Amino acid sequence: MRTRPPFLLPLFRSDGQARLLARVYLGSDRPAPLAELAQELDLDRGGVTREADRLEAAGLVKSERVGRQRILRPNETSPYYGDLHGLLLTAFGPAALIGPALREVPGIEHAFLFGSWAARYAGVPGSEPADIDVLLVGSPDRTAVYRVARELAPLLSREVNPIIVSRERWDDAGEGFIREVKSAPLLELDLDSDENLVGAR
């Protein structure tokens, strides 16, 4: 379990707890069993179970049993639900919301979060991200991408700044900017499935 507090919002006791809460609260439309959440979030299974127990005891989440599997859902009747959802959305929303929003735009082969937000998410300390940097590989319609970015900004309480590079430029790696992006923390957003809170590298 990631035991240090998350740099994006160090109010949570650990990065693992924050990731789990963010996944459960912001991905409530795609609930998953604990074992899958652990894998998706790059957390150890035992730690996730203990954290789930703790959060359930505090009334922040509730469990549902499906066969032998345990599925967590946000407890919408908790007095903290609204505030907690808002905090999680502002702090961790980019990993959960940007991928699904981009799925409606054809022509995107890969989508990454980079820059200061991705660095904080990956555990690199630094100042609070002023905006969310997104790099798209492919040849999507510029207008459609920028429109999605503008719609996301008020939800995430930060500007979303996408840049688009062709597959050739991304693979070539001769360009200074792309080399710099690749050498810093990147969070790839899954554009094909319903899982977006993948582990940062």
> What residue ranges bind another protein (CB under 8 A)?
139, 142-143, 146-147, 150, 161, 163-166, 169, 175-177, 180
What's the min distance (Å) between Cβ of 144 and another protein? Answer: 11
What's the min distance (Å) between Cβ of 90 and another protein? Answer: 22
Closer CB to another protein, 83 or 171, in the complex: 171
What's the min distance (Å) between Cβ of 169 and another protein? Answer: 6
Closer CB to another protein, 171 or 180, in the complex: 180
Closer CB to another protein, 58 or 163, in the complex: 163
Closer CB to another protein, 56 or 131, in the complex: 131
What's the min distance (Å) between Cβ of 142 and another protein? Answer: 4
What's the min distance (Å) between Cβ of 201 and another protein? Answer: 22
Closer CB to another protein, 111 or 197, in the complex: 111
The Cα 108–Cα 122 span in angstroms is: 23
